[in-house]
Amino acid sequence: MEIIETQKEDISIFKLNGRLDSNTSPALEKKLVWAIENGTRNMVIDFENLDYISSAGLRIILKTTKDLKRTEGNIVLCAMQDYVKEVFEIAGFDTFLPIFSTVDEALAKV
Amino acid sequence: MPRKNVSIKLKNRISELERLGQKFQAFGAGIGLSKKCVFQINLAVDELFTNIVKYGFADNNLHYIAVVLSHENGKISIRVEDNGIPFDPAARQTSELKDQIEDCKIGGLGLHLVKKIMDDIVYERSGKKNVITLIKYIPQP
């Protein structure tokens, strides 16, 4: 998996490419933890090029949401494939995590 | 769609997930499955495989996990076989509530996904093996 990080004003955007499973999730976790420790408070995760996610990936998103809540930060998700979004819904994560269709919407709402 | 069987032998290493994913892509392409359907059956096996690798063996030795994918008459059957400690994922309670899911024990969230995504999950202990059979009916367009 490839993670591309960009910055727009005070928002960090993480664009995920490839597959997020228990093999690749430690790299994402490391990157997100590092960002929060270094002052990131507003985060957008762009799923447009993410082809695959398992519960290992969901756990990282959940953990990051909790970490940001503790530091009064925000996280929003966007541009998911329908079948990826369905996994968030089955897990019940859509009830507490905002998921938007486009990056622009996500940037406006974070 | 033609009848098709694929056998995959995986080591008890998380890095094998990459190869597992490639096998699912090829299997799906071979019988014309939708991207969503390939994703769902891959996810179900990923969750079971990851649980087996993480919790299924009392030692750190090399073990093999066998996965057999079959397709016939609009139905996909997947057999997952390991020689680890007895574990029945079908009997394990999973929760509907998100705040309980995150506190679920071993593989709680993963198994919740498997049960929701697949149409049936059957477990049997056969000799010294765990044998899990997953069933998915291919949605008609």
In CATH, which of 3.30.750.24, 3.40.190.10, 1.10.472.10, 3.30.70.270 is domain A2-109?
A: 3.30.750.24
pLDDT band of B105, cuts 50, 70, 90: very low
Reference A89, options A80, B19, A107; nearest CA is A80
Chain A residue nearest residue B50, CA to CA: A22
pLDDT band of B67, cuts 50, 70, 90: very high
Distance from CA of A7 to the nearest CA of B (A): 30
- Contact of B104 with chain A, judged by CB distance below 8 Å, is answered with no
Query: Residue B117 and residue A90: Cβ atoms within 8 Å?
Result: yes
Instruction: Dump pLDDT digits (tens) for A15-70.
Output: 999 999 999 999 999 999 999 999 999 999 999 999 999 999 999 999 999 999 99
At residue B90, the pLDDT reads 85
For residues B76-103, average pLDDT: 78
Query: Residue B17 and residue A21: Cβ atoms within 8 Å?
Result: yes
Question: Which residue's structure tokens are 């890095």?
Answer: B15
Nearest to A93 among B14, B98, B116 (CB): B98
Q: What is the CATH number of the domain that holds B64?
A: 3.30.565.10
pLDDT at residue B85 above 80? yes
Instruction: Dump pLDDT digits (tens) for B56-66.
Output: 999 999 999 99
At residue B133, the pLDDT reads 98
Contact assessment for residue A65 and residue A33, using Cβ atoms and an 8 Å cutoff: no
In chain B, the percentage of residues whose pLDDT exceeds 90 is 79
pLDDT at residue A71 above 90? yes
At residue B139, the pLDDT reads 85
Chain B residue nearest residue A81, CA to CA: B36
- Total domains in chain B come to 1
Contacts of A85 in chain B (CB under 8 A): none
Instruction: Dump pLDDT digits (tens) for B7-35.
Output: 999 999 999 999 999 999 999 999 999 99
Chain A residue nearest residue B44, CA to CA: A54
CA gap A56, B64 in Å, rounded: 22
pLDDT at residue A13 above 70? yes
Average pLDDT, chain B: 90
At residue B4, the pLDDT reads 75
Residues A66-80 as b/e (b if ≥16 CB within 10 A, e otherwise) read ebbeeeebebbbbbb
ipTM of the complex model: 0.95
Domain enclosing residue B46, as ranges: 4-137
At residue B94, the pLDDT reads 65
